[in-house]
Amino acid sequence: MALIVQKYGGSSVADTESIKRVAKRVVETEKKGNKVAVVVSAMGDTTDDLIDQALSIDSNPPEREMDMLMTAGERISMSLLAMAIHAEGSRAHSFTGQQAGFFTDARYGAAHIKAVRPDRVKNALSLGDIAIVAGFQGINAKGDATTLGRGGSDTSAVALAVALGADICEIYTDVDGIFTADPRIVPSARRIPSIDYESILEMASCGSKVLALRCVEYAQRFNMPLHVRSSFSRRPGTLVVPDGIDPRTLPNLD
Ligand code: ASP
Ligand code: MG
């Protein structure tokens, strides 16, 4: 049995139909005999919409309130996904960044993770439940909500995977992994089946559109294997693995 962290980005949970589709995929992974923790982003353009709303009130809103507002996006997707998993007949519990034990520094809008103590997530998994965690958020020493910076859910997912000792962190997006160039611009671009952390950090320009670089650095520091793949297809994606690990030994590759 493997312990798998799956992260679904905003385009994968853009509407309730998409959330139902993701729920099916999560349950399928569980039914194969794995323990599954899921990190979600806010639905579609929710985060941008929240920022627009704030700016229409105040061009320079208080940063504490801004982070409070932005953490709302991921609460919506995490609870809807938990409901959709229930509707599929499995048990799921959603957790905010605070409930999942994400402790950060005090930099609102660009907080850094100081520690992850996911006791409640571990407990849910040990009871056989699926744990859903809000990406992109944590709390500072005062107990106030913080956000990790745009695209921060990738980093949340890797940090959770490390704290749980997961076997792999799967990053689900709307493209089939990382390509040698942007396939929308360069038709001859090829998918990279497997790559090491260093090389991906070097190809920042094409890799970073798919994966937040901070998340790659975090994964490299803790040797956490990543699988970047599409939630819209069944095709294999890109494996980002430490040197010396045979990618074929990783779980849930089909
Ligand atoms: N919802 C946040 C954003 O749009 C975090 C994320 O998607 O990773 O930046
Ligand atoms: Mg987003």
Q: Encode pLDDT of 172-188 as tens digits.
A: 999 999 998 888 888 89
User: Domain span at residue 233?
Assistant: 3-249
Residue 11 lies in a domain: yes
Residue 158 lies in a domain: yes
The pLDDT profile of the chain, 254 residues, written as one tens digit per residue, is 899 999 999 999 999 999 999 999 999 999 999 999 999 999 999 999 999 999 999 999 999 999 999 999 999 999 999 999 999 999 999 999 999 999 999 999 999 999 999 999 999 999 999 999 999 999 999 999 999 999 999 999 999 999 999 999 999 999 999 998 888 888 898 999 999 999 988 886 655 577 888 999 999 999 999 999 999 999 999 999 998 899 999 999 98
Between CA 136 and CA 173 the distance in angstroms is: 16
- Ligand 1 contacts CB of residue 164 (under 6 A): no
Q: Give the pLDDT of residue 181.
A: 84
Residue 21 lies in a domain: yes
pTM: predicted TM-score of the whole model, two decimal places: 0.97
Q: Give the pLDDT of residue 208.
A: 55
Between CA 133 and CA 95 the distance in angstroms is: 5
| Distance from residue 234's CA to the centre of ligand 2 (Å) | 22
Q: Which atom of ligand 1 is nearest to the CA of 152?
A: 8
| Distance from residue 155's CA to the centre of ligand 2 (Å) | 13
- Ligand 1 contacts CB of residue 152 (under 6 A): yes
| Distance from residue 209's CA to the centre of ligand 2 (Å) | 12
Q: Give the pLDDT of residue 202.
A: 86
- Return all residues near 250 (Cβ < 8 A) that are at least 6 apart: 167, 168, 225, 227, 239, 241
Closest ligand, as measured to the CA of 150: 1
Between CA 32 and CA 176 the distance in angstroms is: 22
- Return all residues near 72 (Cβ < 8 A) that are at least 6 apart: 50
Q: Whose alpha carbon is nearest atom 5 of ligand 1? A: 151
Residue 254 lies in a domain: no
Q: How many domains does the chain have?
A: 1
Q: Which atom of ligand 1 is nearest to the CA of 73?
A: 1
Q: Which atom of ligand 1 is nearest to the CA of 74?
A: 1
Residue 182 lies in a domain: yes
Residue 90 DSSP class: -
Closest ligand, as measured to the CA of 97: 1
Q: Give the pLDDT of residue 129.
A: 98
- Ligand 1 contacts CB of residue 237 (under 6 A): no
Q: Give the pLDDT of residue 207.
A: 56
- Ligand 1 contacts CB of residue 41 (under 6 A): yes
Q: Whose alpha carbon is nearest atom 9 of ligand 1? A: 150
- Ligand 1 contacts CB of residue 44 (under 6 A): no
E strand map for the chain: 3-8, 35-40, 92-95, 102-104, 113-116, 130-134, 137-139, 145-147, 168-173, 194-195, 226-230, 238-240
Residue 226 lies in a domain: yes
CATH of the domain at 203: 3.40.1160.10
